[in-house]
Amino acid sequence: VSDYSQTFHLYGGVSALGGYETVNWGDKILPDGSTLHNGDAFIYGGAITLQADFYLSDKVALTANVKERFVFGNSTGHFHTQYGVGVKFIIE
């Protein structure tokens, strides 16, 4: 989505993810002698992304984004939020 003068762009996206997570390379005992209760697992989930760009000129833009990632199958948590702000310099 953008405005008529093309100075503002808004992007949205959805993605899926999957993979295999290993904890301490499969070893249940840590070097200090403590025991891990959770092991390796297949993880799966998705993410929702929103990004906005504000063009200050033809070559410079301010950008902001937020991503909410949800992961299932592991024991460390299900939701992870990432956000950022930045400046884009367009080189042609």
CB atoms within 10 A of CB 43: 15
What is d(CA 39, CA 5) in angstroms, rounded to the nearest whole number? 53
The reply to whether 2 falls in a domain is: no
The reply to whether 85 falls in a domain is: yes
Q: What is the pLDDT of residue 33?
A: 86
The reply to whether 3 falls in a domain is: no
Total domain count for the chain?
1
Q: What is the pLDDT of residue 61?
A: 95
Consecutive 10-residue averages of pLDDT for the chain (92 residues): 86 95 82 84 94 94 96 84 96 90
Main-chain phi, psi angles of 25, to 5 degrees: 55, 30
Q: Which is it for the CA torsion 61, 9, 14, 16, positive or negative? A: negative
Q: State the CATH number of the domain containing residue 27.
A: 2.20.200.10
The reply to whether 42 falls in a domain is: yes
Domain assignment of residue 67, given as a range? 8-89
Helix (H) or strand (E) holding 48: strand 41-55
Q: How far is CA 46 from the centre of its chain?
A: 10
